[in-house]
Amino acid sequence: MTSNQVLTHSALRAGALLGLSHAALAQALGLDQSTASAMEHGLAELQGDTPSGQLALTLIKIYQSLTANVGGDEQACKQWVCSHNTGLVGTPALLMQSEGGLNAVLAYLQSMDAPQGR
């Protein structure tokens, strides 16, 4: 696999494991839904040196950090992403629809021993 294929596969997997819909993943990566769909079918790839590629790297880091904080429990990951969080003053799934929100969620997770889901 090329590095772009690995990035694309990892971003798609992280989005799915976080419970993001296809539309939410496309929005988080700054892509239109047709491009996200093409990625799913192996017809398009993310490029690591593009804005979408950088957003994908942030999403992957969010997944890695959250997974570490919940002991690898996929259901807990999805629940945390969909629950209002008082520390973030919002729902992570909604916040991750922008670059600033992605960065805020990542910073929050990296600062916590374990997410509280509040």
Structure tokens at 30: 């700054």
Average pLDDT, the chain: 93
Q: What is the pTM of this model?
A: 0.90
Total length of the chain? 118
- As a whole number of angstroms, the distance between CA 81 and CA 39 comes to 23
**Residue 116 pLDDT grade (very low, low, confident, very high; cuts 50, 70, 90):** low
- As a whole number of angstroms, the distance between CA 116 and CA 80 comes to 8
pLDDT score of 112:
82
Q: In DSSP terms, which residues pair with 90 in a beta bridge?
A: 85
User: Is 45 within 8 Å of 8 (Cβ atoms)?
Assistant: yes
74-82 helix and 3-17 helix, angle to the nearest 10 degrees: 70
pLDDT digit string, tens, across residues 9-59: 999 999 999 999 989 999 999 999 999 999 999 999 999 999 999 999 999
pLDDT score of 27:
95
pLDDT score of 73:
92
